[in-house]
Structure 1
């Protein structure tokens, strides 16, 4: 059972999922007020899951991440789902290159979208899955350039779940797990692609999904994704191996991709500079 937060309210562009075959509701206006582009998030995962079945509220057992529960009498459409853990990918990118990322060293979401959709196969084929890509992000009190980033993502076809970051320990891990659970209930989750190096929160639930029949692919940096590399159930792809994911090769050391003849790994700082600082510490 995956623990969930208590009551909460937020907004998410993706909005709560609809049962298969139910069209989107027509926009509603209050007077002359324009329709909002965000949708309310239910106070609990149970409330959201309850909207997906006509048989009544979903029991707590159905909220575990491997959604083995099947609603009788309802054909669930196949779905390929991409989940992007923005805080984790940003942090680990800085770690592996040893610097703050620049425009040239940040992932290209357009190329990643193309790679993901191509992996879903021919959309005209019988039984072709639906595709959905979601980016989960913490938004600081002063968003800065994040507004343009979010709008670019939406233009590429991604849904964005944006949660305010008011405390240093605020995170969105449970929001990602909740969304995976909801989609696994409303659809037949054929393929799940998770961009995150966070094994503490994702390793166990993702492996359980594999046991339930979902293909799970973890995409992250090999330096920080030991949980996926060592797993006998999860498939791992280094994010730099996604075609076109970066404009130019990252300045990083990949011990998992050395050339057959070996490679020289240059120092990250001057030998003399290191010795100077070492002697200074020793003489204190």
Structure 2
């Protein structure tokens, strides 16, 4: 094995992207299976003769540890490391921690997969890594990743295209593939949230 191949998963952002597609919180049938993601990722790392290393970055809301604990333990059992950060303020995002993690591993890096529904914060770093000759892939949802789809330096893989990740097909409707009779596109967040952002 030569270097390291990283998978960096932005859990809050991927949940938000999935929720936008589903029109609400994902149920068990629409939760991504981390064993399938892990198998897919290990195969990619081995193709590059690199050591696979995967980490999920997540926030824990106050009082939310009990609800998130089974999920954290399940993905750790699959082989993913977990970086958990308390969500004490609205801007307590994990993006800076993910970028720092990639930077900390940069010297030994053969490639990186960033799983993020809207990962534009990662674009400058990913373009730098691609320019250095490292393999760079964005894993997400095509509805939210035009920045990656339109960047010739980056490879993009839609999460639903990874074999076995979802038990049921996602109910995807977007402006590119509307049914003949039309379709409702659900809001990304409750309208009442506007009262919190005056």
2:28 pairs with 1:83:
no
Bigger relative contact order (CA 8 A; separation at least 6): 2
Give the number of equivalent residue pairs.
184
Which structure 2 residues correspond to residues 39-78 of structure 1 after superposition, within 5 A?
A: 77-78=2-3
1:219 is matched with which residue: 108, 133, 139?
139
Q: TM-score, normalised by structure 2?
A: 0.86
3-state SS, counterpart of residue 80 of structure 1: strand
**Aligned residue number for residue 240 of structure 1:** 160
Which structure 2 residues correspond to residues 21-170 of structure 1 after superposition, within 5 A?
A: 77-121=2-46, 128-143=49-64, 144-170=66-92
3-state SS, counterpart of residue 37 of structure 2: helix
Question: Rg larger in 1 or in 2?
Answer: 1
- Contact residue 240 and residue 246 of structure 1 kept, 8 A: yes
Report how far residue 266 of structure 1 moved. 4.9
1:90-140 superposed Cα distances (whole Å, 9 cap, x missing partner):
111111121211011111111000111112227xxxx83111000000011
- Contact residue 222 and residue 254 of structure 1 kept, 8 A: no
Report how far residue 267 of structure 1 moved. 2.7
Q: 1:82 to 1:265 in 2, by over 3 A?
A: farther
Q: Distance in 1 between matches of 2:183 and 2:96?
A: 39
Q: Distance in 2 between matches of 1:241 and 1:265?
A: 27
1:53-109 superposed Cα distances (whole Å, 9 cap, x missing partner):
xxxxxxxxxxxxxxxxxxxxxxx9411110000010011111112121101111111
Q: Distance in 2 between matches of 1:151 and 1:168?
A: 25
Q: Distance in 1 between matches of 2:12 and 2:25?
A: 14
Q: Distance in 1 between matches of 2:81 and 2:142?
A: 26
Q: Which has the higher strand share?
A: 2
Structure 1 unaligned segments of length 5 or more: list them.
1-75, 270-284
